[in-house]
Amino acid sequence: MSTRDARSSPAARLLSARPRFRFAAWALSIGLALAVIGFAAATQWKGSVARQEYTSSAQQVLAAQVVGLEQEQKSLRDRLANADRQVQTFQSASAGSQTTLAQLNRDLAAARLAAGLTKVTGPGAVIEIADSKRPVPAGDNPANYIVLVDDLHDIVTALWASGAEAITINGERLVSTSSIYGVGSSILVNTAFLSPTFRIEAIGPQDLLDRFLANPAYLSARVAHRIDAFGLEFATQQSGSLTLPAFVGNTRFRWAVPEGS
């Protein structure tokens, strides 16, 4: 067989066609690989865009929530500051009210004390006076030998003049509206009927009794003369501590009213 015949034979032609087939397969493989890579890149790019869009949307939502929370926090701080100011205002007003109330209570206590509406304790003097035990001479007035309303008036007046601040007669506290009346053989003090022995207790300075006995209101009073002349029972005692009850009764004025009312 000649060389030309060998090259033109079918086997030779098949062999000569193999390199071109191999080149086409290699190109096809590369094309497929590039296609896959391009698809993956396109998919990834689309995913990145979607992710960015999602991330941007989430960030906007979060940013809006943060702004809303900041505004709410600011509103709460403002409300808290306003509440603090109101509390301080109330505390200041309360402190002022408490001070005013305390002063009013002190003024009320002083007024009640001055009006005799408060139980009091202090040094003072005790004076007792009772009817005379002497027999009444024939033809003499029996009233001269018993304690009269004027006798109590004289003693109380002399005690006030000697510095007494509180006085009772048989436990009846004397105040500005007190009255001492004679009713038969009894004496009416405030609204209580009293009978001898009459015990007058008075709170005042330590030397109240000495002041009383030396006071012209007593020395010149008729009661001092009656004690000596008719033998009225009379005793005195200085006391380091006396307790006098508060006045119990009506202190309402029927005609006297504050000026301008």
pTM above 0.75, yes or no: no
Q: What is the pLDDT of residue 38?
A: 61
Which of helix, strand or coil describes residue 253? coil
In this predicted model, what pLDDT tens digit does every residue of 99-114 receive, in sequence order? 877 887 888 888 888 8
Q: How far apart are alpha carbons 92 and 75 in whole angstroms? A: 26
Range 120-244: architecture per CATH: 2-Layer Sandwich (3.30)
Amino acid occupying residue 125: A
Q: Is the pLDDT of residue 54 over 50?
A: no
Q: What is the pLDDT of residue 80?
A: 64
Q: How far apart are alpha carbons 197 and 194 in whole angstroms? A: 9
Of 97-101, 105-109, 153-157, 191-195, the least confident: 97-101
Which range among 7-11, 38-42, 141-145 has the greatest average pLDDT? 141-145
In this predicted model, what pLDDT tens digit does every residue of 57-83 receive, in sequence order? 655 655 666 566 667 667 766 776 777
In this predicted model, what pLDDT tens digit does every residue of 233-245 receive, in sequence order? 999 999 999 999 9
Residue 117 in contact with residue 174, Cβ under 8 Å?
no
When computed from its CA atoms, the radius of gyration of the chain, rounded to whole angstroms, is: 60
